[in-house]
């Protein structure tokens, strides 16, 4: 499962960061997840719970902020939020556009530590 390897790298990154600030435990990982990231949120949450066992992240939360796709339309010169990921068309003029402004994110926003 794709999400499992992502969960593994999240744990690696967070453990490394915790080590650098000399934290004993990570309480929470906040993540931004775009609709086009190709990651299934539920699968990632599940994988996370499995992977954090016996690590500095054991018992921590994974907070996922889901980001919808935002498309820029050169014709209307506006950025619009898309209702889904099936069609990349401007909701105003219905012209196709490939200028994706947001939606591919898969990034850690912040980490919460405890002493
Ligand atoms: Zn448009």
**Which residues hold their Cβ within 5 A of ligand 1, which is an ion?**
73, 75-76, 90, 92-93
Domain residue limits, the chain: 2-114
Q: What pLDDT shows up at residue 27?
A: 97
CA atoms within 13 A on the CB side of 105: 18
- Please give the Cα distance from 35 to 41 (Å, whole number): 10
Q: Structure pTM?
A: 0.88
Distance 74 CA to ligand 1 centre (A): 7
**pLDDT values of the chain reduced to their tens digit, one per residue, 115 residues:** 699 999 999 999 999 999 999 999 999 999 999 999 999 999 999 999 999 999 999 999 999 999 999 999 999 999 999 998 999 999 999 999 999 999 999 999 999 998 7
Q: Are 31 and 64 in contact (CB under 8 A)?
A: yes
Distance 106 CA to ligand 1 centre (A): 27
Q: What is the largest CA-CA distance in the chain?
A: 54
Distance 101 CA to ligand 1 centre (A): 14
Q: What pLDDT shows up at residue 67?
A: 97
Q: Are 25 and 56 in contact (CB under 8 A)?
A: yes
- Please give the Cα distance from 106 to 89 (Å, whole number): 23
For residue 106, list its beta bridge partners: 33
Distance 94 CA to ligand 1 centre (A): 6
Q: Going by CATH, does the domain composed of 2-114 fall within 3.20.20.100?
A: no
């Amino acid at each position: 499962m794709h999400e499992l390897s992502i969960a593994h790298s999240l744990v690696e990154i967070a453990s490394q960061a915790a080590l650098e600030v000399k934290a004993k435990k990570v309480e929470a990982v906040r993540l931004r997840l775009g609709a086009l990231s190709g990651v299934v949120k539920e699968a990632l949450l599940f994988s996370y719970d499995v992977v954090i066992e016996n690590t500095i992240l054991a018992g921590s939360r994974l907070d996922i902020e889901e980001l919808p796709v935002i498309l820029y339309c050169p014709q209307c010169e506006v950025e619009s939020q898309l209702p889904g990921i099936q069609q990349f068309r401007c909701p105003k003029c219905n012209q196709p556009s490939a200028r994706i402004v947001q939606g591919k994110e898969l990034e850690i926003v912040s980490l919460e530590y405890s002493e």
